[in-house]
Structure formats: C-alpha cells, structure tokens
Amino acid sequence: GENVEQHPSTLSVQEGDSAVIKCTYSDSASNYFPWYKQELGKRPQLIIDIRSNVGEKKDQRIAVTLNKTAKHFSLHITETQPEDSAVYFCAASTRGNNRLAFGKGNQVVVIP
C-alpha cells in the first residue's frame, strides 16, 4: 500500500518567516494530495489539496507544490503567524479511493 513520509517532525519558525514541510509518497498511482491542520484537541482541518494534473496551488498564505517525478509534495506557509502553530499532516490517495494514507505529522511552532 501507499507509504507517506513527512520531514522534519518538528519545525520552529519566527513569526513572519516562512515554513516548508515536505512529504514523499511511494505509490505512483496516487493522484490526490491533501494537507490537514490539527490544533490541540481539535479535528483535522483540510487546508489545501492538490491533484496530480497540477504542479502548484496557492490559497492566500499557503501553497502546495507537487513533483510527480520525484514523488514528493510540499506545503509552504508564508508570513507565519502564531495561529499557524499546529500539527500538519500530509496524505495521499488514488482517484476515487477515499483511503487516505497519512504521514506522521509535523509540529509547527511559530515563535512570536
């Protein structure tokens, strides 16, 4: 089955700086890549996603890039704010298949 890995496990950034989280996947058939943000004690929240026919997608301060050849995708958060502090999970699945394979998560800490 699909195996998704995330690096680094913990990321500390100064407020206003950028944060980048990278994920790699193993199954070349995967074509849907969502990112979830989970604050302490809360549900995972879908923040952005990308499909394999697109190389980059942006939504305000967050963006996701996908490199199908290298089988990796990354989350970019610009102008970080304290409310960006959370655990971020990447995931992958194949079209029409709701079986999401998740990475282990990255703890992002934004230092005011």
Contact set with another protein (CB under 8 A): 1, 32, 34, 36, 42-46, 49, 51, 89, 91, 93, 95, 97-105
Least separation, in Å, of the C-beta of 17 and another protein?
27
**For residues 58 and 104, which CB has a smaller minimum distance to another protein in the complex?**
104
**For residues 33 and 85, which CB has a smaller minimum distance to another protein in the complex?**
33
Q: Please answer whether residues 90 and 3 qualify as being in contact, where contact means their C-beta atoms are separated by less than 8 angstroms.
A: no
Least separation, in Å, of the C-beta of 18 and another protein?
25
Structure tokens at 94: 């194949």
How far, CA to CA in Å, does 51 sit from each of 17, 48, 68, 87, 111? 27, 11, 10, 22, 32
**For residues 100 and 109, which CB has a smaller minimum distance to another protein in the complex?**
100
Spatial distance between the Cα atoms of 32 and 93, rounded to a whole number of angstroms:
5
**For residues 49 and 78, which CB has a smaller minimum distance to another protein in the complex?**
49
Spatial distance between the Cα atoms of 28 and 41, rounded to a whole number of angstroms:
34
Least separation, in Å, of the C-beta of 1 and another protein?
8
Q: Please answer whether residues 8 and 106 qualify as being in contact, where contact means their C-beta atoms are separated by less than 8 angstroms.
A: yes
